[in-house]
Homo-oligomer: A and B are copies of this chain.
Amino acid sequence: MEPVLLRACRGESVDHVPVWFMRQAGRSLPEYRALRGSGSILEAIADPELAHEITMQPVRRYGVDAAILFSDIVVPYHAIGFGVDVVPGRGPVIAEPFRGDADLERLRDLEAVDVAHVTRTVDLVVADLAASNTPLIGFAGAPFTVASYLIEGAPTRDFALIKTLMHTDPALFDRLVDRLVAITIAFLRLQVAHGARAVQLFDSWAGSLTRDEYRRFALEPTARVLAGIADLAVPTILFGVGTGELLDLMATAGSTVMGIDWHVDLDEGRRRVGGRPVQGNLDPARCLGGVAPGVRAAREVLDRAGREPGYIFNLGHGVLPSSDPHVLEAIVRVVHEEGRAGL
């Protein structure tokens, strides 16, 4: 029997609603904090035994229906030497941000050896999950979102540099995106080759774009990435934050499932993506007030989800570091017991 997560991704009927949480691995778990030293997150990702253990922690604790690789969207760019660091409390920082054609050479094709540590982690996790038939979700950043990091050089609210580049030198932006598409396809293919059974594409910052900008600068590269792995026949999930205005466009990129953030009511989100399977969308902040309010919030999401097939419960963004794991445990229980999509 195929795992319930994969069946739900394909819109098939399931005997319970599958659930996993974006950023389920990491700082919200005491066992993670106990395990991690003071090294950088990129160092932890580079250690397959450690990354394997961190990936498994939430699967054991929560009984979620999928593992997601402990990694970061900048990992392949770090691996090819673009000069990326992930600064605690701040996010990815680029020593020499992308400025022009000369920087394209710093974005060479990704080789298997570059990310051997990642595929080794995948191997370990997949072996560990075999007994329970739990799928591992691989992931990558979508080209626009990765470009925003490479150009801005640090997390931003304004997207000033990338938007200026997009609108003043779109051909250069396209050449950058071509490199990112190739790297992203290679990175996802490697993860699937080693046993990832679904992949999520994070276009986290697509919501900073207008519809015209999304059409011109983000949709086609995303579609190319998805087309570049279509032959692998694994379900794909496309997700971004603040994408309410874009969901109908994003749904044309060709993913199997659309992730819906918490700003959009789930029934409305499902309508916007034309009935495609959806994943989401509990506001992560609703997991902070204790078990009872968290469960109440989860039930509100289940109500909005309805009973159509093709639904995966998740948060509408990543788990907040201050989340109480007991709340997430209770939510998994409620989703499994009360979720009724596709029965």
Contacts and interface: CB of A to CB of B under 8 A. Distances in A.
Contact of A283 (B210, B289, B320): B210
A59 B290 CA distance: 51
A288 B168 CA distance: 10
Interface string A265-308: 10000000000000000011110111001001100100000000
A163 interface: yes
A90 to B, nearest CB: 12
B160 A322 contact: yes
A242 interface: yes
Contact of A167 (B160, B207, B211, B286): B286
B212 A289 contact: no
A296 to B, nearest CB: 8
A289 B165 CA distance: 8
A164 interface: yes
A33 interface: no
Interface string A135-162: 0000000000000000000000011100
B320 A167 contact: no
A285 B163 contact: yes
Contact of A265 (B210, B244, B264): B210
A290 B160 contact: no
Contact of A288 (B163, B263, B286): B163
A245 interface: yes
Contact of A160 (B207, B242, B263, B285): B285
Interface in A208-264: 210-212, 242, 244-245, 262-264
Contacts of A286: 163, 167
A293 B167 contact: yes
A47 to B, nearest CB: 29
6 contacts: A160-B285, A167-B286, A167-B289, A167-B296, A210-B263, A244-B245
A284 to B, nearest CB: 7
A297 B210 CA distance: 12
